[in-house]
Amino acid sequence: MQIETTRVAVIGAGYMGGGIAQTLTKAGAQCILIDQTPESARQGHARVIEQARDFEAKGYFPAGSAADIESRLTWSGDLASAVADADLIFEVVYEDLDVKIDVLTRIEQFARPDAIIASNTSAIPIGAMAEALTKPERFFGIHWFNPAQLLPGVEIIPAALSDRSLVPGLIELLTAAGKEPAVVPDTPGFVCNRLQFALFKEAALMVEEGEVTAEQIDTVVKASFGFRLALYGPFAVADMAGLDVYANSYKSLEKALGERFTVPDSLRERVEAGDLGIKSGGGYLGLNEDEAKRLIGARDNAYVALAALRRELASTPS
């Protein structure tokens, strides 16, 4: 999908819908914003334009971006006519299955048969919404992260009946908009939110147990494994740390905290087979010796740069 020739409709002109519309128009798409009432669509449009001007003034967006966005972004109070011309339609309304199904079925009623419809749901199964549609093959989850105009990641989530031949076009469009799309399965929470909410639950539990405060946890996380996660996923981190170290740590945690900290089967099997991560060659990412050396070199360089950026940000008045 060529972004310059793609007409987008965004239903839900709130926080995420505004960010999605801003990102896509900045990169060249034409976009129309719709909300529950004409007034809320107009307000959403005004917010996007005002924020784009602010971001340009602060140097976050290149010069001319706000004018480009303004020239490509419109709003409407009429869903039927707004979606009728669109090639790609984003549903970005409240996180409620009934509300989403109501909006999605209305979108489908007025959209072109060849339009692609996408939901930005955080955690509702894509398949549960697809069931309500007459053309589930044209429907996907496309999950952006907050704030959509600044975070690179986007999850593309085909459901069981989604037409997979449409995925390369979606990747092309999102990449042209400066994103790093990843195709992920329609499993609970997809990839990001299952992991993000698992971490949050454990952190909340620690605070509820009363031994540690929210502030202490945030201080530790952002300076330790959160620092690493800015650059590497959990498997690269584990491979670099040593899988034997991980397995032994799980054993101690399991003794104190029980079954939810049992050594994961795949980790136990690797360690039993002598695969300790990059120090033995292999690991979850299967890096050979040369690749492992390059990873460590790049990591050290990146950590020095990231530490410098953190110091710079900490000393910049907000």
Ligand X SMILES: NC(=O)c1ccc[n+]([C@@H]2O[C@H](COP(=O)([O-])OP(=O)(O)OC[C@H]3O[C@@H](n4cnc5c(N)ncnc54)[C@H](O)[C@@H]3O)[C@@H](O)[C@H]2O)c1
Binding site for ligand X (CB under 6 A): 11-17, 35-36, 40, 92-95, 99, 103, 120-122, 144-146
Nearest approach, Cβ of residue 89 and ligand X (Å): 12
CA proximity to 227, closest of 139, 309, 284, 151: 309
Q: Which helix (H) or strand (E) holds 32?
A: strand 30-34
| 118 or 287: CB nearest ligand X | 118
Return the bridge partners of 155, or none: 143, 182
| 47 or 53: CB nearest ligand X | 47
Report in angstroms the alpha-carbon separations of 72 from 9, 30, 104. 12, 5, 24
Both tokens assigned to 150? 């600044």
Nearest approach, Cβ of residue 96 and ligand X (Å): 8
Nearest approach, Cβ of residue 277 and ligand X (Å): 33
CA proximity to 177, closest of 44, 317, 60, 4: 4
Nearest approach, Cβ of residue 317 and ligand X (Å): 27
Nearest approach, Cβ of residue 124 and ligand X (Å): 7
| 131 or 269: CB nearest ligand X | 131
| 96 or 131: CB nearest ligand X | 96
| 45 or 228: CB nearest ligand X | 45
> Could you give the residue ranges of the DSSP H alpha helices within 153-224?
167-176, 192-209, 214-223
Nearest approach, Cβ of residue 293 and ligand X (Å): 38
| 148 or 271: CB nearest ligand X | 148
Nearest approach, Cβ of residue 193 and ligand X (Å): 8
Question: Are 265 and 247 a contacting pair, CB within 8 Å?
Answer: no
Question: Are 23 and 148 a contacting pair, CB within 8 Å?
Answer: yes
| 89 or 240: CB nearest ligand X | 89
- Name every residue whose Cβ is closer than 8 Å to that of residue 35 and which is 6 or more positions away in sequence: 11, 12, 13, 14, 17, 41, 43, 44, 75
Nearest approach, Cβ of residue 76 and ligand X (Å): 11
Q: How far apart are CA 52 and CA 19, in angstroms?
A: 10
CA proximity to 307, closest of 201, 230, 203, 216: 230
Nearest approach, Cβ of residue 197 and ligand X (Å): 12
Question: Are 276 and 243 a contacting pair, CB within 8 Å?
Answer: yes
Backbone angles phi, psi at 63, to 5 degrees: -55, 140
User: Which residue's structure tokens are 């795949």?
Assistant: 266
CB-based closest residue to ligand X? 14
Both tokens assigned to 52? 């784009």
Q: Are strands 116-119 and 30-34 parallel, antiparallel or unpaired?
A: unpaired
| 144 or 232: CB nearest ligand X | 144
CA proximity to 75, closest of 148, 26, 18: 18
| 34 or 247: CB nearest ligand X | 34
